[in-house]
Structure 1
């Protein structure tokens, strides 16, 4: 008789797998048993955000494997946003756990609630962020100004041009303005004023009439001093030239000169004498230091010879491009070698000059002008130009009681003195200089006083200046706190955050879903009240299919199958 012996296959354990090279932390082992018999095959799952197909096989007490290990789930491309770019903020590829951030192009702003998308286990979360063009505010212009462009709905890059409706007016201000990337207009809104010329200061001459201002087409009567004559025989007329009023031709007096008939080649003559002329070699005398030039040459030079020279401080060469003097029949050229530096008549916007204004001024001479705010400014002509120029913009003399201001470029920045504060959250504020009005600046209040009380979706009535306030919520909202008191410079809301003082009576809806080739003809909001409606409108030439208006009901938008179909080919 023979005896049979049965050999039981060796088991494999979970602990063996966890300690083997086959295991990694991306596996989900929560559903595995502690022990498996020989020959058993077991599928190992993946953790959330990972995918794979991995099997364990128990062979003679050891684990063998086949299939793919668990790797991060891919989400694919996150989607392009018009007028925006995106980049990976987290991770190195579009896989589980990665995050992309969208950034609007220059001149556009983010209108979506979030500017990022995250790769989740079920794919990309949220919607593709939306960027819209920055819009500039409406420009208010004088009724005498003609506008070429859209001043009410202008967006980044739009340009508006101005001109006067009447040819008898001139434009004061910017001839054009453009909407910049920050949604602000660059340039000052212009006005149209009557064409007026002021009586000029004429060097070596004088105006004959006691008139300070001349209207368009009026003639200027003037005469020149002895030994001088008019540079142009025509009478100067007040004329519109471009955007300014100027005298045409410019009233000027020049020295009277007599033209001699040309003599024989190589000769010269004096009309008072009739003796036989003598011909002498043309030479130029040596130059010694002078009040206007510093360089000199000790020897006498002949016709055609040249010498280098330089001007002293306060003087400039007559020909700025050349520092060479040339000897010729009439002496040294140029003549004079150096001229006194002068300051030309300055041009300052919004300024009214006091007294008679000349075309040029010598060094250390003064001129005054008045700004619209009655500030008098005195300028002094110096070697390098006018000294003391100040802007006549509204920012130049603005004061804030119990505070101080700092003008910088075209903006006025201001804050409060110690013991005072601004009624808003910030400790400083700003205002544009273009058309600033002091009353529009925020006042500085005592630290113990309360500033403006701003509550979303509510009308706030302040009973006493900075001491108590009554809150009334808008239709569709209910209030949690209706009365506020000012305590130590802060509004007491009984611990309730201001943003939830007025809450919707019914659950609101988040922004509606995006429909391809369509927009909502409703301002964007972070939430919409229950029972409110929005309407989709297709882009030009596209046709809407389905119901275009949807209603918010207790936190959910009514379903719609709207589509925008392209035009038939």
Structure 2
């Protein structure tokens, strides 16, 4: 029964397993080849425009490819006095939905973080098919390069080559290394000191009834720390354990559970 149903679906909807094609483009003031009513996926057409018009992409002729039911760019012929989108490295501007700008259009350029306008020029104007001197976004003197790499750490921020002054990045150590996060800030072209991620041991005092509960104690590799023990019942002497981290393994001296006389306190030192 299941096999029959599957076969019925395959016959009824064969198009589901075929790439979708494209309809013939509506090109005004131009012509294209090959001329067909429909085009299969990955078919490419070439077009050019009448006198006084130009393609909506660079060049006096252009190509467009059918990709999953849509043209890679909609073939268009625009007035020669119109402008194509300008290229502004490290800058952005409002994009026009039709992909081009009429003669006389003015764009205000905003520089990316870490960049600033050169010579305070912030706008460009379309005139007779060309843009006026476009603003230049140059790197700010107070910007920082990519933050320094720290062994055994990642930065919780998307990668950038340039960061604006005041930017913050957060370093996070990988598992098994210093279990805290640290921030570094870009100040006048330099990053504030960054953390180091060192191997550590974690001792949870809550899990050991001999220790005074203080939560988790982090001990760097090769380091020794004092962890206070619960005081013995007969005397108010303060006792502690020496806890050392050796290549991720914890070594600790034992705590005294009860002190029978003063001399026994030496065993806990």
TM-score where L is the length of structure 2: 0.52
Q: Secondary structure at the match of 1:536?
A: strand
Structure 2 equivalent of residue 484 of structure 1: 124
- Asked whether the equivalents of residues 411 and 432 of structure 1 are also in contact (C-alpha less than 8 Å), the reply is yes
User: Quick one: structure 1 residues 459 and 466, their matched pair in 2 at CA, closer, same or farther if it must change by over 3 Å?
Assistant: same
| Residue-by-residue CA offset, 1:447-506 (whole Å, 9 max, x unaligned) | 43211134333334779624321314258654332332224422111xx5x5x2x34555
Structure 2 equivalent of residue 531 of structure 1: 166
Higher percent of residues as helix: 2
Report the CA distance between 1:533 and its aligned residue.
Answer: 1.1
Structure 1 equivalent of residue 231 of structure 2: none
RMSD of Structure 2 on Structure 1 (CA) = 4.5
Higher percent of residues as strand: 1
| Residue-by-residue CA offset, 1:529-564 (whole Å, 9 max, x unaligned) | 11111122233x233367621111121111213225
- Asked whether the equivalents of residues 92 and 112 of structure 2 are also in contact (C-alpha less than 8 Å), the reply is no
Structure 1 equivalent of residue 32 of structure 2: 404
Task: Map 1:382-401 onto structure 2 (within 5 A).
Answer: 393-395=20-22, 397-401=24-28
Tell me the distance in 1 between the aligned counterparts of 2:62 and 2:153.
42
| Residue-by-residue CA offset, 1:199-242 (whole Å, 9 max, x unaligned) | xxxxxxxxxxxxxxxxxx9xxxxxxxxxxxxxxxxxxx995226
User: Quick one: structure 1 residues 396 and 509, their matched pair in 2 at CA, closer, same or farther if it must change by over 3 Å?
Assistant: same
Structure 1 equivalent of residue 85 of structure 2: 452
- Asked whether the equivalents of residues 424 and 452 of structure 1 are also in contact (C-alpha less than 8 Å), the reply is no
Structure 1 equivalent of residue 108 of structure 2: 471
- Asked whether the equivalents of residues 41 and 69 of structure 2 are also in contact (C-alpha less than 8 Å), the reply is no
Report the CA distance between 1:445 and its aligned residue.
Answer: 2.5
Q: Secondary structure at the match of 1:349?
A: helix
- Asked whether the equivalents of residues 178 and 199 of structure 2 are also in contact (C-alpha less than 8 Å), the reply is yes
User: Quick one: structure 1 residues 429 and 518, their matched pair in 2 at CA, closer, same or farther if it must change by over 3 Å?
Assistant: farther
Structure 1 equivalent of residue 9 of structure 2: 244
| Structure 2 unpaired stretches of 5+ | 202-247, 250-269
Report the CA distance between 1:508 and its aligned residue.
Answer: 1.4
User: Quick one: structure 1 residues 464 and 428, their matched pair in 2 at CA, closer, same or farther if it must change by over 3 Å?
Assistant: closer
Structure 2 equivalent of residue 508 of structure 1: 143
| Structure 1 unpaired stretches of 5+ | 1-216, 218-236, 248-346, 352-390
User: Quick one: structure 1 residues 552 and 459, their matched pair in 2 at CA, closer, same or farther if it must change by over 3 Å?
Assistant: same
Structure showing greater radius of gyration is 1
Structure 1 equivalent of residue 192 of structure 2: 558
Task: Map 1:262-411 onto structure 2 (within 5 A).
Answer: 349=15, 393-395=20-22, 397-401=24-28, 402=30, 404=32, 410-411=41-42
Q: Secondary structure at the match of 2:194?
A: coil
Tell me the distance in 2 between the aligned counterparts of 1:403 and 1:519.
54
Q: Which moved more, 1:484-493 or 1:418-427?
A: 418-427
Task: Map 1:213-252 onto structure 2 (within 5 A).
Answer: 239-241=4-6, 244=9
| Residue-by-residue CA offset, 1:179-207 (whole Å, 9 max, x unaligned) | xxxxxxxxxxxxxxxxxxxxxxxxxxxxx
| Residue-by-residue CA offset, 1:332-390 (whole Å, 9 max, x unaligned) | xxxxxxxxxxxxxxx95269xxxxxxxxxxxxxxxxxxxxxxxxxxxxxxxxxxxxxxx
Task: Map 1:68-217 onto structure 2 (within 5 A).
Answer: none
TM-score where L is the length of structure 1: 0.27
Structure 2 equivalent of residue 63 of structure 1: none
- Asked whether the equivalents of residues 510 and 528 of structure 1 are also in contact (C-alpha less than 8 Å), the reply is yes
Tell me the distance in 1 between the aligned counterparts of 2:158 and 2:102.
34
Quick one: which of 183, 188, 199 aligns to 1:549? 183
Number of residue pairs aligned between Structure 1 and Structure 2: 189
User: Quick one: structure 1 residues 435 and 535, their matched pair in 2 at CA, closer, same or farther if it must change by over 3 Å?
Assistant: farther
User: Quick one: structure 1 residues 561 and 238, their matched pair in 2 at CA, closer, same or farther if it must change by over 3 Å?
Assistant: closer
Tell me the distance in 1 between the aligned counterparts of 2:74 and 2:200.
51
Report the CA distance between 1:245 and its aligned residue.
Answer: 5.5
- Asked whether the equivalents of residues 509 and 529 of structure 1 are also in contact (C-alpha less than 8 Å), the reply is yes
Higher RCO, 1 or 2 (CA under 8 Å, sep at least 6)?
Answer: 2
| Residue-by-residue CA offset, 1:288-342 (whole Å, 9 max, x unaligned) | xxxxxxxxxxxxxxxxxxxxxxxxxxxxxxxxxxxxxxxxxxxxxxxxxxxxxxx
